[in-house]
């Protein structure tokens, strides 16, 4: 969980360079990280990483957008 706040933000360029499998693997990883952070937040034990929830959600949305664009092109 601590690594999520330290992890570099995902750039759109690097996401577009990933293939579909890598993108879906990364998406699953981010969703589990987000779930852990939200669980901690609900328990009240989340301290420094409160701001990282927003960025995780945005990165997940960015990945979903790229995947949907690729589906539409096929």
Residue 4 — pLDDT band, cuts 50, 70, 90?
very low
The pTM for the full model equals 0.81
What is the per-residue pLDDT for 50? 81
Q: Which residues contact 12 (CB under 8 A, 6 or more apart)?
A: 62, 66
Do the beta carbons of residue 1 and residue 41 sit within 8 Å?
no
pLDDT at 1 over 80: no
Which of residues 11 and 27 earns the better pLDDT score?
A: 27
Closest alpha carbon to 65 in 16, 26, 7: 16
pLDDT tens-digit readout, 30-65: 999 999 999 999 998 888 878 889 999 999 999 999
The counts of H helices and E strands in the chain are 4, 0
């Amino acid at each position: 969980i601590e690594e999520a706040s330290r992890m570099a933000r995902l750039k759109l360029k690097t996401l577009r360079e990933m293939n579909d499998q890598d993108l879906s693997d990364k998406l699953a990883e981010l969703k589990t990280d987000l779930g852990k952070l939200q669980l901690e937040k609900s328990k009240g034990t989340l301290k420094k990483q409160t701001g990282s929830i927003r960025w995780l959600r945005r990165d997940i949305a960015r990945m979903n957008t790229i995947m949907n664009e690729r589906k539409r092109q096929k």
